[in-house]
A and B are shown apart, each in its own frame.
Chain A
Amino acid sequence: GAVVSQHPSRVICKSGTSVKIECRSLDFQATTMFWYRQFPKQSLMLMATSNEGSKATYEQGVEKDKFLINHASLTLSTLTVTSAHPEDSSFYICSARVLLAGIYFGPGTRLTVL
């Protein structure tokens, strides 16, 4: 089946630093990838839609200057959390659509900001 990977799986950083999370489609090309955030015992909230070769589309209330998204190739999208603060601590998950199959999610990245 289709596989979406994320790296790193877990990251701990100091407040004020920036953190980059990678999302890769391993056996298919993805022109569009999606970034979600999930707080404990809550559902997934869509943050932004990442489009290969163009600007990302952000959901209302998501700061585009804080959550930088780059989709430089058909298999890689990155999410950079800039100047991270403790309230940014969360579980970040990406997904991609496999044509005629479904929408597949990565394993997630646990971000902890101290």
Chain B
Amino acid sequence: EDQVTQSPEALRLQEGESSSLNCSYTVSGLRGLFWYRQDPGKGPEFLFTLYSAGEEKEKERLKATLTKKESFLHITAPKPEDSATYLCAVEDGNNRLAFGKGNQVVVIP
């Protein structure tokens, strides 16, 4: 069974204090690893797809990296508007997505 574990569950950051979120996974036949941002009461907003170990992608203050066992989402110099829950998901060989429980990030001005 595919498993996705995200840590830490919750994180409070001062504005400008860079940090990283971790997503550890076990999956049968990884087709892709996805990062999403979810705000309260809204659907997940697509951020990145990573397909193979060593791949990196960036978008504004966010950078996602992938190894064979885990992925990191680095938040550089965060701003209050980066406050959200960040979800990690893996897609297996049967095209099914398994989600972690999320990293709840609060950035304090």
A-side residues, CB < 8 A to B, are 1, 4, 6, 32, 34, 42-46, 49, 91, 93, 95, 101-108, 110
Contacts and interface: CB of A to CB of B under 8 A. Distances in A.
Contact of A46 (B42, B48, B96, B102): B96
Interface residue SS majority, chain B? strand
A103 B97 contact: yes
Interface residues of B, number: 21
Contact of A43 (B43, B95, B96, B100): B100
A27 to B, nearest CB: 14
A100 B42 CA distance: 24
- The residue in A34, A43, A95, A102 that gathers the most chain B C-beta atoms within 10 A of its C-beta is A43
Nearest to A1: B46
B4 to A, nearest CB: 8
Given A43-B87, A44-B87, 18 more contacts: A1-B46, A4-B43, A6-B43, A34-B97, A43-B101, A44-B99, A46-B98, A91-B41, A93-B43, A102-B46, A103-B34, A103-B91, A103-B97, A104-B46, A105-B45, A105-B46, A107-B42, A108-B41
Interface of B: 34, 36, 41-46, 48-49, 87, 89, 91, 95-102
26 contacts: A1-B46, A4-B43, A32-B95, A34-B97, A43-B100, A43-B101, A44-B89, A45-B99, A46-B97, A49-B95, A49-B96, A91-B41, A93-B44, A102-B34, A102-B46, A102-B49, A103-B91, A103-B97, A105-B36, A105-B43, A105-B44, A106-B43, A107-B42, A107-B43, A108-B41, A108-B42
